Amino acid sequence: MKRKTAAILVGMMVSVSLTAGCGSNEATEAASQGEQTGAEDEEETEEASKEEEEETAATGEAEEGEEDNQEESSETQEPEEEEKGTVAVLLPDDTDERWAADGGYIRTELENAGYEPQILYAQGDGQKQAEQAAEMIEEEVDAFLIAPADAYSLTDALAGAKEKGIPVFSYDDLIMDSDAVSYYITFNSREIGHALGNSIIEKMDLEKAREDGKSYNIEFFMGSPDDLKSLFLYNGVMEVLNPYLEDETLVCQSGRTSFHDTAIMRFSESEAQRILKETLEESYQGKTLDIACTAFDGAALGVAQGMEEAGISPDQEQWPMITGVGCELSGMQGIAAGSQTNSVYMDRENLAKQGVNMVDTYLKGEDPEVTDYEQYDNGKKIIGTYTCEIQLIDKDNFELLIDKGLYTEEEVLPEGFLDEEEEAPEVSPVLTEEPEEEETDTEETDAGETDTEEETDAEETEPDPED
């Protein structure tokens, strides 16, 4: 019984021991599995973290790239300039080449300065231009740049511009009887007159003529009496030439020396020709006209045609000195051909540039540059004026205007002139003295020839051995 009981007890102990061992192994395996699972989770977490970091870095780089692109784009794209406003440009007539060209110059300058130009032509009608001005005032333009078709027709229309505070700039010709005019842009007509007068003094050498007691006959053909610039030009001429008229170094046989007597309405070429013909018939029988002082190229052409009609050609001594103004094609052709002595060039492209510059400066709230505050009175007030420079053109420098592109050689030079230049034979240089080396060579050659001749003679005279 005791043995049986002991055996049972031993068996129970073994069973318990085995059970405990199994539990311990399971726990160990579970712990091991837990450790492995934790390690795997940590690895997965680390990998996920790395991926997130990489994605974040990539996103950051992409965003930086986009920002750089945006910055580069903003740097390369220049901001569009807003138009500063509208400038109404009123010009007399687009059938006149001068005004048509001015319209183009002004448009370009205004657009380059950021303005919208409204360019209107009046076809030479002062009333139409006044209506155009009224229309532009209703549209509330920012400024006016006006070359008047009729200097006296804009008084009422421009009163509205003054009421609305719209500045008015008179261009080339001065608007008269209006206190709405703010500034004036033109050429210095008095200086043009000085240039003509001084060219006569120089060409005819009036100082020497005065010393020698010699005199020259002169006639005047001035601009239109309704043009203020023509009066200024006349005054400039007379300021220079009056001393020579007073001491009779210059003599005007017709007696017409006042502006009233010498002005030619509307700058008429045909009227200038008629006046010359009449003057020659009445005042120059048996006399020679030495100088025709004209104030525009049309008058110069009219005088030249009148002289040819009277039987005098440019290649004759009786042909007078003829001045001009404007450097029009007829004037340039006359200078090149020798029928016209000179003309005065006025750079209209520069006039347009300076006019727009005055407008722009004023609209910016600044004071435009003014060169004359004294002589330009429009009947209501003295107008602050900017005057552009002029240049005298003659046979010595007329090609400057060809180089500038105003005209071509074919337009200006006499017909056949270029052909004659091309066909002119080349002149071979003629030696007045032969170089010493050549003389030596010649002597040596002669000596050689002599020796050869002597040898030949000796051979001919030497007896034949066989004989």
- pLDDT score at 70: 52
- pLDDT score at 25: 42
Alpha-carbon dihedral angle through residues 144, 145, 151, 152, given to the nearest 10 degrees? 0
Q: Which residue has the tokens 């005047």?
A: 220
- pLDDT score at 9: 45
Report the greatest alpha carbon distance in the chain: 190
Structure tokens at 420: 């004659």
- Give the domains, in start order, of the chain with CATH numbers: 82-188+347-388 (3.40.50.2300), 189-340+389-419 (3.40.50.2300)
List of the chain residues with pLDDT < 70: 1-83, 416-467
Structure tokens at 112: 């380059």
Structure tokens at 467: 């004989």
Residue 181's φ and ψ, nearest 5 degrees, are: -75, 125
Structure tokens at 142: 């920012």
- Helix 228-246 to helix 189-204 angle, to the nearest 10 degrees? 30
The residue among 329, 324, 328, 317 whose CA lies nearest residue 341 is 324
Alpha-carbon dihedral angle through residues 240, 282, 325, 249, given to the nearest 10 degrees? -20
- pLDDT score at 126: 97
Beta sheet of 143-146, edge-to-edge order: 115-121, 85-91, 143-146, 168-171, 181-187, 384-388
Sequence-distant (≥ 6) Cβ neighbours of residue 467 within 8 angstroms: none
The residue among 222, 226, 214, 172 whose CA lies nearest residue 197 is 222
Alpha-carbon dihedral angle through residues 93, 96, 99, 101, given to the nearest 10 degrees? 140
- pLDDT score at 82: 63
By DSSP bridging, strand 321-322 and strand 115-121 are unpaired
Cα–Cα distances (Å) from 126 to 107, 132, 146, 201, in that order, read 22, 10, 12, 40
Q: What's the pLDDT tens digit per position in 9-33? A: 444 444 444 444 444 444 344 334 4
Beta sheet of 321-322, edge-to-edge order: 250-251, 216-221, 291-294, 321-322
